[in-house]
Structure 1
């Protein structure tokens, strides 16, 4: 092929690569886009942020290895503590429909699951308060696999009472999750950061902290109880005893 012909073909291919790519908002992508817009238009959304140190979580995982128990992941420990904390704050395990707030005694935990093409679903892990830490990883993996295989029921897709969305593998430490209406709250888990903090005795110490972001519907939940929920969750994370979940992992 002559050089000028080769150059022309290469130029045409380069031009084709620079053409805009149109992605229609239809099908599942369109439904998700519509729901996100409706969420922001219909709810009075506000986000609180907090940091939690992970020293106690790492100590618990190390203890598990030392006594021959399977060490739970940071994510699963956090999910278990979220469920426990929601039982202390029923106002956040609630839905708001037709100007009526419904507080749910059972925690149907929505787990944000990324799908191909940047789609996101949040199916429900039903009765999460009854799922011990030892069986939580398997239940979570099963739900994720069903979501990615397109095998979820309508009830699983719409039955959550509180949602957790996780960006823990990214560099994003805090963010603003959008409510999965009619739920009144959603927790975002951010990435882990190394920090140097005062040790209270004139020195410093190194630690790791995880970012937590709670978005809530101010029509149903005021700022003080939302902050109290985050405070209690951080206290649970930072105050974990190394053997806190031995009975659930055996």
Structure 2
């Protein structure tokens, strides 16, 4: 009797996914609850486990195909060898050693020990296999010695830089060293800089967009087409926050086990301002305005694959330490590809920190259905004229609030941002709720 493998429920408002890769081939034995394949949605990547033990007898949907919730992915036959004869029906070539070295052009990653393979998260396993790496050679920093996505990316960076010192390409040149010698060391023209030769390879490469990247593109375009977006700007003197942070950061980290960053100050400042200007925390639903009496703050996290916005739930009820711990946990999950759908949904207001990438100013785009987003930027010493006319250098940060003008008036938006600025410049107000 065959057991069907179907696309599970993917979460609220998610009806479609892409088959990222199969971990098994037709004819392979599988254990109950063993990961069989990986699905990529527009929000997260998740594994589909075997509903029963047996043998993978059929793969109905190949990697790279789009599927809907409930669609048939494959079947599992009873018994360890029940499907050996069914292999030809599958979309993949069988693994046994047939005289088919033709697929050899596709380089395979170094073999992974079974124990290590089982411990790898889906996103980590995918990155390792796509890059052709041996996980045993990568230093692991995760819990219980596990390999994280950050470990793999760091290893790739180091490996990318390492070959740059030795120059293996000239040595591999075919048979025209005489012609290559002058080309390798052209005389710099009139003191101009000499650039390295362009690496060999195609001039262009086409790569299919990931479902996450497509969803990001759709959401941003929908935001521009739907909302009447305006942006108001201000700047905050970061002196008081920086002084307070420097004063307590060591004690804070020792007591709470987490570093004190700037984001907790801004989340607390925004919650204070949102309470005073509830329309900024509201959303439009059809011809109704939905006022949110909870403060679930989205914190944008930039990844190599794209931007994700995990949510800090009930930020008004959290301490500074709890906010910092939550942000650290969500950021780590984001880098490891382990965020759940629930952690990405339901935010009422978003904060995006472009300053970590060096941005001095920008205009953030609304994260619909939210009505406002705050942009933080790089802290930079700038001359400031004080009340007595003197000019001093201060660590200043430009703040940008993009808002939906269909719902929020300019007076409300500007007043909200001024309140955030006041809280940042006088952080005791946040702590004393004044």
Q: Deviations over 1:57-103 (max 9, x none)?
A: 1221233259x444722222122212222122111112222232211
Which secondary structure does the structure 2 equivalent of 1:105 belong to?
A: coil
Say if 2:247 is the partner of 1:63. yes
What is the root-mean-square deviation of aligned Cα atoms in Å?
2.6
The answer for the alignment partner of 2:354 in structure 1 is 167
Alpha carbons of structure 1 residues 180 and 137: separation in structure 2 relative to 1, 3 Å: same
The answer for the alignment partner of 1:94 in structure 2 is 282
Counterpart selection for 1:28 from 212, 216, 232? 212
The answer for the alignment partner of 1:37 in structure 2 is 221
Equivalent residues of 2:373, 2:403 under 8 A apart: yes
The answer for the alignment partner of 2:338 in structure 1 is 151
TM-score (ref. length: structure 2): 0.51
Which secondary structure does the structure 1 equivalent of 2:279 belong to?
A: coil
Which secondary structure does the structure 2 equivalent of 1:156 belong to?
A: helix
The CA deviation at 1:5 is 9.6
The CA deviation at 1:172 is 1.8
The answer for the alignment partner of 1:46 in structure 2 is 230
Q: Deviations over 1:163-220 (max 9, x none)?
A: 1111122332221111110000011111111111223323221111111110111111
Residue ranges of structure 2 left out of the alignment (5+ in a row)? 1-173, 185-196, 254-258
Which secondary structure does the structure 2 equivalent of 1:173 belong to?
A: coil
Count of residue correspondences: 240
Q: Which moved more, 1:19-28 or 1:220-229?
A: 19-28
The CA deviation at 1:18 is 5.9
Q: Distance in 2 between matches of 1:62 and 1:32?
A: 37
Q: Distance in 2 between matches of 1:189 and 1:14?
A: 37
Residue ranges of structure 1 left out of the alignment (5+ in a row)? none
Q: Distance in 1 between matches of 2:245 and 2:268?
A: 14
Say if 2:362 is the partner of 1:178. no
Q: Distance in 1 between matches of 2:418 and 2:267?
A: 15
Say if 2:411 is the partner of 1:224. yes
Larger radius of gyration: 2
Alpha carbons of structure 1 residues 19 and 101: separation in structure 2 relative to 1, 3 Å: same
Say if 2:314 is the partner of 1:130. no
Equivalent residues of 2:310, 2:344 under 8 A apart: yes
Higher relative contact order (CA 8 A, sep 6+): 1
